[in-house]
Amino acid sequence: MSTYTQILYQLVFTTKDRKNTMAEVDQENLYRFVWGILKNKNCHLYRINGTENHLHIVTHIHPMIAPAMLIKDVKLAASDFIKNEKLFPAFNGWQDGYGAFTYTFSAKDNLIEYVKNQKGHHKKVSFRDEYISLLKEHGVVFDEKYLLWNIEPFQGSFDVWVTFDHAFHAWLFTFNHVVV
């Protein structure tokens, strides 16, 4: 007997600390590279798109490939590609974690359109609201403190006292930059 599957996934992951490091002008190069990774793993890419800080991938995943391993491989290879090609100079990696959501094949066309329109969509809806909506739509139980966004950075200066007990000294450091 042969194996037949049609499992349609939407994969979502973000840049480290959700920083806007993927300039729109070079995103297409990244998308083509990711498409090649998926093709090499016998996955069928239906659509890839995103914004300066996250990606959405609509794909069929080959039944011998675990989604977690696929996303790990995509993130590692894409990071190397970005670095080697000097694609996004401010890029410093991907956020830990990801979202993987399954869909019926009959939802494919609507899902492709949704991902195709990411840039316009995010002019109206924040990533946070979008991601929570996806989790709820798919019945995923979650704790907000583990979701794929960073805490708003504190801007300004502050003093930090650090005491080293072994030397009985105190050091004063003043930071005048964004803290994340």
User: Which comes out higher in pLDDT, residue 159 or 58?
Assistant: 58
Residue 179 counted as domain residue: no
pLDDT at 148: 58
- Which residue would you say has higher pLDDT here, 166 or 44? 44
User: 62 — phi, psi (to 5°)?
Assistant: -55, 140
Instruction: Provide the 10 A C-beta neighbour count for residue 105.
Output: 11
User: Per the domain annotation, does 53 fall within a domain?
Assistant: yes
Residue 103, pLDDT > 60, answer: yes
Question: Pairing relation of β-strands 169-176 and 157-164?
Answer: antiparallel
* Owner of token pair 């924040």: 126
DSSP 8-state class, residue 93: -
- CATH code of the domain containing 137: 3.30.70.1290
- Better-predicted residue by pLDDT, 180 or 136: 136
Percentage above 70 pLDDT, the chain = 82
Rounded to 10°, the helix 67-85/24-40 angle is 130
Checking if the pLDDT of 156 tops 60, the result is no
Helix ranges restricted to H, 2-107: 24-40, 67-85
The amino acid that residue 72 corresponds to is K
Q: What angle do CA 130, 180, 48 make, to 5 degrees?
A: 35
Query: pLDDT at position 145, please?
Result: 79
pLDDT of residue 131: 87
Are the C-beta atoms of residues 99 and 107 closer than 8 Å to each other?
no
Residue 59, domain member (yes or no): yes
CB 60 within 8 A of CB 67: no
Q: Domains in the chain: how many in total? A: 1
Tell me, rounded to whole angstroms, the distance of Cα 67 from its chain centroid: 14
- 129 within some domain: yes
Distance of CA 20 to the CA centre of its chain: 11
Confirm whether 3 is domain-assigned: no
Q: What is the rounded average pLDDT of the residues 138-159? A: 63
Kindly state whether residue 166 falls inside one of the protein's structural domains: no
Q: Which H helix or E strand runs over 163?
A: strand 157-164
Answer whether 0.85 is exceeded by the pTM: no
- Give me the residue label for tokens 């990533």: 127
* Res 149: pLDDT: 54
Structural domain containing residue 71: 8-146
Give dist(CA 60, CA 70) in Å, integer. 11
